[in-house]
Structure 1
Amino acid sequence: MGVNNKNVFVGAPDQKATGAILTGPELEDVPEDIDDVTLTGLGDSGYVNEDGVTITPSDSTETIKDWSGAEIRRILSEFTGEIAWTHLELNAESARNYFGEDHVDVKAATTTKGTRMRASLGKNELPIKAWYFKVKDGDRRVLIVAPRAQVVSRGEIPLTATGAITLPVTLATYPDADGQNIYIFTDDGVFSA
């Protein structure tokens, strides 16, 4: 089989109808196909900065040595998967991701005031929920699903006159019932005749 440029995907966000990062309740069963994943009723995080989203898998291994001290095998002892990005939009959903759902209060706009939001930082454990990352490259699509993940690291919030206020976060992903942390679905957009 030769090379095929249709298998080269660009990681641009799919945000035509919603933002590219969505959240919802933990998933018990992950669908088998990209078109079987339901994306309705999920929280929409809005814009992400130009650095995009980074998935970082990390394997830890233990070395087995023979009597002479030579390494003869490695066994997997631990897997962690992290997903990181920076929210560029300061909206209720991105704030809930950063501060925690119970620590963001939003009041609707009135005839005299705009939409108001109050968020608080403290020693607050953030919830475990499902996360969805939508990518589109022409007719090619990618959907990353973390059925059980939690924000475990929050970066600095910059307040400058020359840039946006951003909310950087890192998720830790946890194994589902099948022992998998992250699912990556693709559709190459090429239809058969």
Structure 2
Amino acid sequence: MAVNSKNVFVGAPDQATTGAILTGPETDTIPQTIDDFSFTGLNDSGYVNEDGVTITPSDSTSSIKDWAGAEIRRILTEFTGEISWTHLELSAEAARNYFGEEQVQVTAATELHGTQMRGSLGKNYLPNKAWYFKVKDGDRRVVVFVPHGQVVSRGDIPLVQSGPITLPVTLATYPDAHGQNIYLYTDDGIFSAPAPEGP
């Protein structure tokens, strides 16, 4: 097969009208193609910092050795998949991803104050949700879909004059009803020529 530059995708966020990371209820309904996604009603967590999003798969194997001690086979014993990024906003949805749904309270703006938010850290359960990561590179599109994911690690919150307050998180992914943790969908943006009309 010949090389094709159209297969080279840049991981820029698709955030024309929303942020590129969305969340919703867990699901075992798995879209067949990238066009089968509906993002209506999902929660938008806003901007992510310039480091973007990193997907980290990890396979654990167990070695089988023969009588002489030579390795003759490896068995896959465990798979884990993590996704990490840093929220660049102190929005309600970014805060809910970091602090937890029940640990964030928002008070609407009034004539006396702006929109106010309170988040609390403690030994709190962070819920499982479905996660959607949207990427757009010109006409090329990518969606990374996690049907069951949970924030399991939270990084430092920097409070410095020289930079923004950020909320770094790491997401653990869990298998769905089909045994899969993470799905990646693409569209290379190249449309086929229309079929010629008949006589």
Relative to the length of structure 1, the TM-score reads 0.99
Q: What amino acid is aligned across from residue 90 of structure 1 in structure 2?
A: L
Q: Is residue 140 from structure 1 mapped to residue 144 from structure 2 by the alignment?
A: no
The answer for the alignment partner of 2:99 in structure 1 is 99
Q: How do 1:1-193 residues align onto structure 2 when only pairs under 5 Å count?
A: 1-193=1-193
Cα separation, 2, equivalents of 1:96 and 1:84: 16
Query: After TM superposition, what 4+ stretches of structure 1 lie above 3 angstroms from structure 2?
Result: none
**Matched-pair identity in %:** 76
> Which secondary structure does the structure 1 equivalent of 2:102 belong to?
helix
Instruction: Please state how far the C-alpha of 1:120 moved relative to its aligned partner.
Output: 0.3
Cα separation, 2, equivalents of 1:175 and 1:38: 21
Cα displacement string for residues 68-122 of structure 1 (whole angstroms, at most 9, x for unaligned residues): 0000000100000000000001100000000000000001101110000000000
What's the RMSD between the two structures over aligned residues?
0.4
Instruction: Please state how far the C-alpha of 1:29 moved relative to its aligned partner.
Output: 1.1
- Which runs of 5 or more residues in structure 2 are unaligned? 194-199
Instruction: Please state how far the C-alpha of 1:67 moved relative to its aligned partner.
Output: 0.7
Q: What amino acid is aligned across from residue 178 of structure 1 in structure 2?
A: H
Instruction: Please state how far the C-alpha of 1:27 moved relative to its aligned partner.
Output: 1.1
Larger radius of gyration: 2
Q: What amino acid is aligned across from residue 92 of structure 1 in structure 2?
A: A
Cα separation, 2, equivalents of 1:167 and 1:4: 38
Q: What amino acid is aligned across from residue 148 of structure 2 in structure 1?
A: R
- Which runs of 5 or more residues in structure 1 are unaligned? none
Cα separation, 2, equivalents of 1:180 and 1:145: 11
> Which secondary structure does the structure 2 equivalent of 1:57 belong to?
strand
Cα separation, 2, equivalents of 1:50 and 1:31: 29
Instruction: Please state how far the C-alpha of 1:47 moved relative to its aligned partner.
Output: 0.4
Cα separation, 2, equivalents of 1:27 and 1:51: 28
Instruction: Please state how far the C-alpha of 1:37 moved relative to its aligned partner.
Output: 1.2
Q: What amino acid is aligned across from residue 14 of structure 1 in structure 2?
A: D
Cα separation, 1, equivalents of 2:39 and 2:176: 19
Instruction: Please state how far the C-alpha of 1:174 moved relative to its aligned partner.
Output: 0.1
